[in-house]
Chain A
Amino acid sequence: NVLTQSPGTLSLSRGERATLSCWTSQNVRNSNLAWYQQKPGQAPRLLIYGTSTRATGIPDRFSGSGSGTDFTLTISRLQPEDFAVYYCQQYGSSLVTFGGGTKVEIK
């Protein structure tokens, strides 16, 4: 199952809304789709699992949605600490796959 993230880079200003897309080549169960944030020099951090459930400590400006082959991560109002790379991930029956990532940069 190939995961394609779009756009590759998103240039936005603080306070703007960010919409990140993740398309999968095969249908994915909602329980099997997650999102991660990674800042330079750091390990990734789990943001969203089960398509729409925020992980512990994740602010409510982060939200996930979607179904089937089309999934979205939305950041409602970008804060300075949100500028990072975001990855979607899917769990198959015995295989895990990541998307190529979307970089959210300061405009």
Chain B
Amino acid sequence: QVQLQESGPGLLKPSETLSLTCTVSGASISESYWSWIRQPAGKGLEWIGRIYIGGNTNYSPSLNSRVTMSQDTSKNQLSLKLSFVTAADTAVYYCVRDVNWSIGFGMDVWGQGTTVIVSS
């Protein structure tokens, strides 16, 4: 059973860097695609980006200049960094497994999410 667990500071000040870790169990991060999704309270889902085989990445154009994703295969962990945060970055952040089946794509395993609040 694949499980994902996000962790990281829950409170940041404006202009700081958000840094989250996703610990994956039950699957190797080297063998799949992994996305980060966020959701402000009461709002919809926003794709931040994904990392996949070889550490390749795709980022949302709206966040591209501030986002860095990486992976530590020795620890089977994924990392998300978002620089220069503002209140607009306040949200629940999800780590997600992104699967390419032969007939379609989908995000089949989600972490429980971690809340990040940006406030001075």
Contacts and interface: CB of A to CB of B under 8 A. Distances in A.
Nearest to B58: A94
Interface residues of B, number: 21
A66 B7 CA distance: 38
B106 A96 contact: no
Interface in B68-109: 94, 101, 103-108
Interface in B37-56: 44-47, 50
A101 to B, nearest CB: 5
B103 A98 contact: no
Nearest to A50: B104
A55 B108 contact: yes
16 contacts: A31-B104, A43-B94, A43-B110, A43-B112, A46-B108, A49-B103, A50-B103, A50-B105, A53-B101, A55-B108, A91-B105, A94-B58, A95-B58, A96-B50, A97-B47, A98-B44
